[in-house]
């Protein structure tokens, strides 16, 4: 019993977060030109960068991420095969599928509340 209690106390910071805040579950969809984004990554970070970002995969347009509550800057990344095969990489070569306005220069935001945050959806546009 003592081992179980010790293990719980050691795991508690992971469940609550390093800064003592509980995590909230955020889920939703990401569409690209009106269709589900086949795959990518979504990242939630503090606007001032003061907290560790939370990230998760996007599969068939859907995602679920555990995030600390508060205002967040949202970044979405996705890649696709290159239009011209790279002579070195061949068919494995990839390029960005969406523009920097959805990742490095994002203007996407979300207000994450404690508990469950469903239907936090985003729309992105494919690069030409």
Judge whether residue 3 has pLDDT over 50: no
Pairing of strands 54-59, 39-45: antiparallel
The answer to whether position 16 is within a domain reads no
Domain containing 84 — which CATH number?
2.60.40.10
- Could you report the per-residue pLDDT of 30-89, keeping only the tens digit for each? 999 999 999 999 999 999 988 899 999 999 999 999 999 999 999 999 999 887 776 776
Give the range of the structural domain holding residue 89, as residue numbers without chain letter.
21-124
Q: What is the mean pLDDT of residues 115-127?
A: 97
What does the DSSP 8-state code read for residue 23?
A: P
**Tally of domains in the chain:** 1
For residue 120, name the pLDDT band (cuts at 50, 70, 90): very high
The answer to whether position 3 is within a domain reads no
Residue with tokens 């070195």: 88
The answer to whether position 9 is within a domain reads no
The answer to whether position 13 is within a domain reads no
Which run of H or E residues covers position 112? strand 109-112
pTM to 2 decimal places: 0.79
The answer to whether position 1 is within a domain reads no
């Amino acid at each position: 019993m003592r081992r179980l209690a010790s293990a719980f106390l050691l795991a508690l910071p992971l469940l609550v977060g390093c800064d003592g805040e509980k995590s909230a579950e955020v889920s939703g969809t990401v569409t690209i030109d009106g269709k589900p984004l086949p795959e990518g990554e979504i990242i939630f970070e503090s606007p001032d960068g003061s907290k560790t970002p939370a990230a998760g995969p996007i599969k068939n347009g859907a995602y679920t991420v555990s995030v600390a509550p508060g205002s967040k800057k949202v970044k979405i990344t996705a890649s696709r095969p290159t239009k011209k095969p790279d002579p070195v990489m061949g068919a494995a070569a990839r390029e960005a599928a969406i523009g920097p306005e959805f990742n490095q220069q994002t203007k996407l935001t979300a207000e994450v509340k404690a508990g469950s945050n469903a239907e936090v959806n985003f729309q992105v546009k494919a690069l030409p």
